[in-house]
Amino acid sequence: MRAKDLALIALFAALTCVLGLSPVIPLPFIGITFSLQTLGVILAGGILGTKRGAIAMVLVIVLVAIGLPVLTGGQGGLGKLIGPTAGFIWSWPAGAWITGALVQRWWRGLTPARAIAAALLGSVSLYVVGHTWLAVMLGLPASTAWWSWVAYLPGDIVKSCAAGVAILAVKKAYPLITVPSVSGRR
């Protein structure tokens, strides 16, 4: 891993923390908040690619674990990594990896629709992990916890569009993902 990669990983972890400082929209009933923080997860994967994106998210988890208030609403600490909503944070490396994998796969012909799809699939993976964890912790059948996902869908589509546009813009201005060249290209 080059020094530049270390810098990118540290800075995207910091960026994800900064996006958590943005205004918070609390959702009724569940107590989980809607913030721009998960955008950091998707952008890390979509801009840095699978490996560096996932490591950046592991770094954010380390920052939470060592007691820094870097989560939305100035939250943090080990309680956030062990409580009922902890799955929504543990899912971040996986979410970044999935978005990164799709963006890398479609890198040469990355259209807005594909970039948005990659962002959306990454976001959905956060819920799969988060809600399964929630259901296990609360002793509920997974299906009961899953309905609440529908409530987030509109917000997620909007966020994914924003992330997809940003991923495309950065691809043009500052491409960081390198795809092995196609052999026998004319």
Partner 1 sequence: MLTLYTPGNSLLHRCPAAAKLITLCLAATLIMILTDPIVLASGILVVAVGYGMARIPGRTMWRLSRTALVIVMVVAACQAFFTSVSPAIIVGLRILFLITAANLVTLTTRTADLITVVEAAARPLTRWGVHPDRIGVTVALAIRFIPVLGEQACRVREAQAARGVKAPFTLLVPLVIRTLRLADGVGEALEVRGLGSSARAGASTTEHRSMTR
d(CA 160, CA 119): 5
Question: Which value, to the nearest 10 degrees, does the dihedral of the CA atoms of residues 50, 22, 121, 26 take?
Answer: 140
Q: Which of 28-36, 87-95, 113-121, 149-157 is the region at the interface with partner 1 (rule: CB under 8 A)?
A: 28-36
Candidate list 121, 128, 157, 162; residue touching partner 1; CB under 8 A: 162
**With binding defined as CB under 8 A, does residue 65 bind partner 1?**
yes
For every residue of 44-106, DSSP letters joined together read HHHHH-HHHHHHHHHHHHHHHHTT---BTTTB-SHHHHHSTTTHHHHTHHHHHHHHHHHHHHT
Stretch of residues binding partner 1 (CB under 8 A), selected from 97-105, 107-115, 147-155, 157-165: 157-165
Residues in contact with partner 1 by the rule CB under 8 A: 1-15, 17-18, 21-23, 29-32, 36, 39, 43, 47, 59-60, 62-63, 65-70, 73, 75-79, 81-85, 137-140, 158-159, 162-163, 165-166, 169-170, 173-174, 176
